[in-house]
Amino acid sequence: MKHIWGYIGALAVVCIWGSTFVSSKVLLEKGLRPADIFLVRFVIAYLCMLTISHRRFRSGSWHDELVFVLLGIMGGSLYFLTENMALCHGWATNVSILVSTAPLLTALVCSFFYPSERMRGWQVVGSLVAFVGVVLVVLNGQLVLHLNPLGDMLALSAALAWAFYSLLLRRIMGRYSMSFITRKIFAYGIITILPYFWLVEPFSMTATMLTDWSIVGNLLFLSVIASHGCFLLWNWVLREVGVVHASNFIYLQSLVTMAVSAIVLDERITPMAITGAAILILGMLRALK
């Protein structure tokens, strides 16, 4: 019961993050590009953070400032770019499964640098069982995976970026407030995405798009709730329950996405997906012990 509020916070964040895949899909179908969505999302989230954290802008040392730059890349620009580019170059099923390896990769990275965070035997078993559940949920009755080396590598890169984000955050979260850390992450996420618009493709969002309330609503959901609110809460959760335990909740994202997709996009749910959901929950509960 010691970390009950941390677990509740993690569950709330994952439920919202699981819904963002559907929200992002709506925006992509409206003509926005992945990098456009990310930039607008983080700019609005940063402005929201300024309302609660505006007294301090520099960290205590250049070393810490470098860590914040890396956090902005790993948890911001690199993670979101690789995940969305993977969807453009590969199959959504493959991407969903490979990105869901983030908890396992996080546990491996943390156990290498921090032996105290190493998973015990039953936690390893629980994580693997939960991952099997994720695979069944994502497949949802489709038993064929389509290999695409580029898309699959991008998806794994996203999962690995999130693992290092969690590791870096653990190194710094005891020295600064959660609001300060979150605002710095947003700032460096914005700065490090800008070269993409110069080197790869220009920013393409137009003022006309903002007359569509569906676009505005989804952008506000992604920026104010899923970024500003959830990043702030997630960073607190990592401090309360530990990096490895918190990361295990990410397994639930695919379950939430499946449920929201069924409601919003009218996608079907098969017996395989329901079985996978049950296995996922049982495995995750085992991994948390």
Stated pTM of the model: 0.81
* Per-residue pLDDT, 285: 61
* Per-residue pLDDT, 92: 56
Averaged in consecutive runs of 10 residues, what is the pLDDT profile of the chain (289 residues)? 79 87 82 90 94 77 91 92 75 63 76 66 65 63 58 81 88 84 93 93 89 93 94 88 79 74 69 67 60
* Per-residue pLDDT, 289: 56
* Per-residue pLDDT, 226: 93
- Please compute Rg for the chain using Cα positions: 18
* Per-residue pLDDT, 95: 64
**How far apart, in whole angstroms, are the C-alpha atoms of residue 57 and residue 172?**
16
* Per-residue pLDDT, 47: 94
Phi-psi region of 118 (alpha: psi -120 to 50; beta: other; left: phi over 0): beta
